[in-house]
Amino acid sequence: MSFSTRRNTELSMVEYITTLINGSWNNVAVVKSFLKAYEAPVPVIAVRLLDVQSSRQEIGSNRLKQVYTFIIDVFANSDGQRIDLAEFLVQGVKEGCIYYEFSHNSANRELLDKDANGRLIFLQFLTDERVDINATAAEHDKFRHSITFTCE
């Protein structure tokens, strides 16, 4: 049985960001929640689905057009690395990505199977900014960046 559309959307974006990072960067972890970022060594990128806005696709129909808001948090080792990772992610996100339907593997429930079933289309960036925390911040928070965007 496939997961819910929202869960599939979040997992598809995490999969895409992981593939992007692994293809061009070394030793940068990608996690699927803000709190898990503090469990991994810096540099780390946290990807999470923030919310979903739904509207009717057309009059008289119960089908919904859903717009997903994502946050990508970059936890870097330096200000330069923060800027470079943020720019790299912005360039990648605006291309959109494959939407997968995920399900548990029948032989091993710890593994996920996935089937491509469309695309997530980038709509707009809402924020792309340095997170300014005081100079005595913890290691993870010294060079943080936040990117918020929508897709459908």
Q: Is 138 helix (H, G, I), strand (E, B) or coil?
A: coil
Query: What token pair was written down for 127?
Result: 């924020």
Q: Determine the pLDDT at residue 139.
A: 78
What local confidence, expressed as pLDDT, does residue 65 receive? 81
pLDDT tens for the chain, 152 residues long, are 679 999 999 999 999 999 999 999 999 999 998 899 999 999 999 999 999 987 776 777 777 788 999 999 999 999 999 999 999 999 999 999 999 999 988 888 778 889 999 999 999 999 999 998 776 667 778 899 999 999 99
Amino acid at 41: P
pLDDT reported for residue 9: 96
What pLDDT, on a 0 to 100 scale, did the predictor assign at position 1?
Answer: 67
Say if CB 90 and CB 147 are below 8 A apart. yes
Report pLDDT for 46.
97
The domain ranges of the chain are: 5-151
The pLDDT value given to residue 136: 63
Apex 129 CA angle, 94 and 139, nearest 5: 115
Question: What is the model's pLDDT at position 73?
Answer: 97
Identify the pLDDT of residue 64: 74
**Class assignment of domain 5-151?**
alpha beta
